Chain A
Amino acid sequence: MIPLSWYLIVSALLFSIGLYGVMARRNAVAILMAVELMLNAVNINLVAFWRYTAPDRAVGLAWAVFVLTVAAAEAAVGLALIISVYRRRDSVIAEELDTLRN
């Protein structure tokens, strides 16, 4: 007896928290963790809709699996980049990575 909208609200909250983390955290790894949170929120959204509207079809689940996959790949590459940047500049503070300035 859980309305769909409750799942959606949870997902939205999780997403907003993740968004806050992306915008507000100093450490690059922390930003990446917040991105994972956002992706998870999206997944929740997908699965909720799948269950409530078309549970007999593969769409929802398949899409959620794809999101999972892409998130994993992206996390791997992102962390590798962070490590590489740390090696160059001895810093993982996102604010200091502003060579695109102006």
Chain B
Amino acid sequence: MSEETLALLTWLIPAGPLLAFFVIVLFANRNRTLSWVLAWLGVFSSLILGWTVALSVATTDLHHLETHPTVVASAIDWLPVGDYFQGTWLKMGVAVDPLTAVMLIMVTFAVTMIFVYSVGYHNWGAPLGTILGVPNHMQEEPLLGRFFGYMSLFAGAMLLLVVADNLLLLFVGWEIMGFCSYSLIGFWHARDYHLSPESIPHIPPRSAAIKAFLTTRVADVVMLLGIVWFYRAFGTLNFSQALSAHSLEEAVVRIGAPALGIMALLLFTGTVGKSAQWPLHVWLPDAMEGPTPVSAVIHAAAMVSAGVYMIIRIYPLIAVGAGPHGNSAVSWTIAGIGAFTALMAATIAVAQYDVKGVLAYSTISQLGFMVAALGVGGYIAAAFHLITHGFFKALLFLASGSVIHGMEHGAHHVHDHHTDPQDMRFMGGLRHKMPVTFWTFFIGGMALSGLPLVTAGFWSKDEIFAEAWHSFEQGNALGIVVLVTLAVAAFLTAFYTMRQISLTFLGEPRTPLAEHAHESNRFMTVPLVLLSIFAVGAGWFGIPESFPVLGPIVNNNFFHHFVGATIYETMAELESLDLVNAAIETLPFSWVPLTASLVVALGGLFVGWWIYGRKALVKDQQDPLVRPLGPLHVFLNRKWYWDELYQVVFIKPTVSFSEKVVYEVIDKGLIDGILHLVALSFYKFGSYMKRTEELVFGQAVDWVKDQFLAMTKVSRQLQTGKIQEYVLVSVLIIAVLTAVILAVNYYGPVNEWFSQIALFVN
């Protein structure tokens, strides 16, 4: 396929969903069926186009890729910058390199599966729901058009971000997704909760939407500063131009590597917000208030992935910033935040009762894995885990949605609308009621835990451990810190996953809801099955060559070489310039990380099964960990009290400030005061004008009129009506005129005088 064709197809990848958005919003909003059909058309087109382009890139010769990683590059002139007549323009465009290709594979497929799933999730075909803005259980969602409109916009924005060739266009997609997540989390805008104290706490969806948007906004502001500095430092926002070895070398000379490190940290702040790392992780669990497809697409396939994708993209900058001339604090910060988040979120997930809550914290934790991997230099490991995580987390979320649907169906059946269908304590025995959901959930859960060999999660997690260990072996203490932290986190991951599977599916139904649950419709189950294929198989593209037994059989770590080709040459050059610590290299095999991943995965699964699965919980039985952990369990269940802390430290003072100072003093006092002043001055001016007018125009005009009247009084006296007086006046006038004429013409002195005047005039 020629390069022009590929470029055109790349431009069209985000176009499908974006076009679907516009058509739905403008025309098809009322027609629910037409809306989802249009949305399907959009994402299916992007799926086909995305896979075409990605596979085209994937089949390119590897050596050619290493030297020319950007296979497709197409840009248009967007803004004139600098001297207009010199013709320098800011260019916006698309570019496809191996990293983009793998992202396209994952994102398009996962999003398409979610779109298919959504039609069934919203009960299309069932009787129409009547109340707008709340979930109408068992009935068709009345605002389905709006849902698919926003979802299409979201998909288009994500794809735009993935194919963007510069930081600004990426940021555009980033922000659009931020808006869409706000709209979609708050999709059930009229929903309110009336909960008893022992049930799982919920905040209303509209509050969750605002929380998500504001938290990510804080991060985005800092990221924008980073983007501005980026443009200042490199003169361009284009990735391949700015992050080439030559450009980075120049930048180091100009502003120094530590400055580049700080720039990298500013950009990383965006990831902290978008990918829900500590301290900005608080929005993601509350974002579960949105419909489950939204949770899947935002928290698995797309939005949180965008955060990690972005720092993977700018990895050369991070590497230089943390390299020999830079400051190692950069990598400690990034890896530290990642590792800490991974561990913290995993501990919280252990004590959660909401089926989606566990998955939410699981997502936070896994993103921490990726960030930590990047912090120790695991470029490919981070990318690998991003891809596999996208598949199996989407699968898990969709499966949990199917579970919730089943529980709601049971609730409807027994007319119990007070029991929370998302609370795992009320589930149980669902493997018999919902077998497809059970097996697909199981596969996803195993992938998440990192069940060795057969699941994708194992390969990607193993690679992260290998990178950390390798970094430690190279002399970086950060490596061992990260390795240990992530190992504990991985253990907990396997543990809480097994806990979740046991509570939900094993044993016997603990409530009538679970009793009367049944499998979901085909719209929902088919995507689950398709995703589980990838949850299993996606990892096999990344088997290291040095892996015992399997490695030599496959003998091609395709993922490693393919994605590594994106910056292989750049990193090699940078390493030769002694600007980075290490280039992209195939890791030598070591037993330490492999043992670690096997132990934690199998160990965690076993312990989880031992506590929760061997003797499944029965009705009203308390979680077995509550008593032993005691206050620790409460601490974990209440999410380490971060929300309460932020409320006191940030939110209350801000609200108080805005109410007392901004509103009272600035708005009402200053601004309104100025307005009142302006109005008053205008009024005064108007009164003055009025008075002036009365005086000038009124009185002055009247005076003139009076003068005229006076004159007429005088001249009226001429008109006495007496003829004799007229005669007298006439005679006098004639006499005077005659005298003048005679004098001028004939009387000597006057004549001369007049002649002189006449001469002078002429």
Q: Which residues of A contact B (CB under 8 A)?
A: 19, 22-24, 31, 94-95, 97-102
Residue of B719, B724, B728, B731 touching A101 (CB-CB under 8 A): B719
- Closest chain A residue, CB of each to CB of B728: A23
With A and B bound together, what is the CA distance between A31 and B716 in angstroms?
25
CB distance from B736 to the nearest CB of A (A): 15
Centre residue among B716, B722, B724, B728 by max chain A CB count within 10 A: B724
- Closest chain A residue, CB of each to CB of B718: A102
CB pair A100 B727 closer than 8 Å: no
CB pair A101 B727 closer than 8 Å: no
Complex contacts, A23 vs chain B, CB 8 Å: 724, 727-728, 731
CB pair B721 A99 closer than 8 Å: yes
CB pair A19 B731 closer than 8 Å: yes
Complex contacts, B727 vs chain A, CB 8 Å: 22-23
- Closest chain A residue, CB of each to CB of B712: A102
- Closest chain A residue, CB of each to CB of B717: A102
Q: Is the CB of B2 closer than 8 A to any CB of chain A?
A: no
CB pair B721 A102 closer than 8 Å: yes
CB pair A31 B724 closer than 8 Å: yes
With A and B bound together, what is the CA distance between A19 and B734 in angstroms?
13
CB distance from B99 to the nearest CB of A (A): 107
CB pair A102 B724 closer than 8 Å: no
CB pair A98 B724 closer than 8 Å: no
With A and B bound together, what is the CA distance between A46 and B727 in angstroms?
24
A interface footprint on B92-135 (CB within 8 Å = 1, 0 otherwise): 00000000000000000000000000000000000000000000
CB pair A94 B722 closer than 8 Å: yes
With A and B bound together, what is the CA distance between A33 and B442 in angstroms?
146
With A and B bound together, what is the CA distance between A94 and B721 in angstroms?
10
CB distance from B716 to the nearest CB of A (A): 6
CB pair B719 A94 closer than 8 Å: no
Q: Is the CB of B59 closer than 8 A to any CB of chain A?
A: no
Q: Is the CB of B549 closer than 8 A to any CB of chain A?
A: no
User: In terms of DSSP, what is the predominant structure of the interface of chain B?
Assistant: helix
CB pair A94 B724 closer than 8 Å: yes
A interface footprint on B705-749 (CB within 8 Å = 1, 0 otherwise): 000000000001001111110011001000000000000000000
With A and B bound together, what is the CA distance between A101 and B722 in angstroms?
7
- Closest chain B residue, CB of each to CB of A95: B722
Enumerate the 6 nearest inter-chain pairs by beta-carbon distance, A residue then B residue, closest first: A98-B721, A101-B721, A100-B721, A23-B728, A98-B722, A23-B724
CB pair B724 A22 closer than 8 Å: yes
With A and B bound together, what is the CA distance between A95 and B721 in angstroms?
8
With A and B bound together, what is the CA distance between A24 and B723 in angstroms?
11
Complex contacts, B719 vs chain A, CB 8 Å: 100-102
A interface footprint on B314-338 (CB within 8 Å = 1, 0 otherwise): 0000000000000000000000000
Residue of B716, B724, B728, B731 touching A95 (CB-CB under 8 A): B724
CB distance from B718 to the nearest CB of A (A): 10
Complex contacts, A19 vs chain B, CB 8 Å: 731
CB pair A98 B731 closer than 8 Å: no
With A and B bound together, what is the CA distance between A22 and B728 in angstroms?
9
With A and B bound together, what is the CA distance between A6 and B731 in angstroms?
23
Complex contacts, A22 vs chain B, CB 8 Å: 724, 727
**Could you pull out 13 A-B pairs where Cβ atoms are within 8 angstroms?**
A23-B724, A23-B728, A23-B731, A24-B724, A94-B724, A95-B724, A97-B723, A98-B721, A99-B721, A100-B721, A101-B721, A101-B722, A102-B719
CB pair B723 A94 closer than 8 Å: yes
- Closest chain A residue, CB of each to CB of B730: A23
A interface footprint on B593-631 (CB within 8 Å = 1, 0 otherwise): 000000000000000000000000000000000000000
Complex contacts, B722 vs chain A, CB 8 Å: 94-95, 97-98, 101
With A and B bound together, what is the CA distance between A23 and B721 in angstroms?
14
CB distance from A60 to the nearest CB of B (A): 24
Contact A101 to B723, CB < 8 A, known contacts A23-B728, A23-B731: no
With A and B bound together, what is the CA distance between A94 and B722 in angstroms?
7
CB distance from A17 to the nearest CB of B (A): 13
With A and B bound together, what is the CA distance between A39 and B737 in angstroms?
23
- Closest chain A residue, CB of each to CB of B716: A102
